[in-house]
Amino acid sequence: MPAYARKHQLNTSLIYHVYSRSSGKAHIFKSKDDFCCFAGLLSRYSLEFALKIYHWVIMSNHYHLLLELADPRQISRVMAGLSKAYSCYYHKTYSAVGFLWQGRFKLQPIQKEGYLFACGRYIERNPLRAGLVNEAHEYPYSSAGFYCSGKPEGIIRIIKTLLLTICSKFSYKTIPSVNTTAFVLRRK
């Protein structure tokens, strides 16, 4: 039954909240190199599979992505590749063995405008809720810095694409400015 449910929700291009956690909630992103490796994999996979990653965060034991694929049926292939690539890096770096991830990734389609913005805020505020930073944009392993200051981080490439996608999916009459979008994504 779960396989059918996943297939059913992957018929059309939507924006998805994708997340996964380490096995046993172990810290699998331990050093700057670990975070950078996973961020580099995200960047590479976004180019290779034409992923549009709108929001992302990498925490010490899990990650969250808000993304869109041209062909959503490839999500399993993309996420399996991402998980396997990081697992290989981790096992080689730390001479570890065994499962790195707690089961399969989780996938939640985003269908309403309100949830899109709420999900973006949720993703980028993870480090804030964990007490790692005072402001979301201070955390170096998330998209918050990009939206707050325009600081390029190599994963989110074109803000205009994001705005056009949001506008077309949710029938905005005009395209909001970058500053307006950043404000909307952060307001309480």
Domain boundaries, the chain: 2-186
CATH topology of domain 2-186: Alpha-Beta Plaits (3.30.70)
What per-residue confidence (pLDDT) applies to 79? 94
Q: Assess contact for 151 and 145: CB atoms under 8 A.
A: yes
Question: Which residue(s) pair with 52 in the sheet?
Answer: 68
What per-residue confidence (pLDDT) applies to 19? 97
What per-residue confidence (pLDDT) applies to 22? 96
Is the alpha carbon torsion for 119, 124, 127, 131 positive or negative? negative
Question: Which residue(s) pair with 39 in the sheet?
Answer: none
pLDDT 10s digits, 114-142: 788 899 999 999 999 999 999 999 999 99
Task: State whether residue 103 is helix, strand or coil.
Answer: coil
36 to each of 32, 49, 68, 115, how far by Cα in Å?
Answer: 6, 20, 22, 29
97 to each of 9, 36, 60, how far by Cα in Å?
Answer: 34, 21, 18
What per-residue confidence (pLDDT) applies to 24? 94
H/E element, 19: strand 15-21
Question: Which residue(s) pair with 55 in the sheet?
Answer: 66
Residue spans of the chain under pLDDT 70: 1-13, 157-188
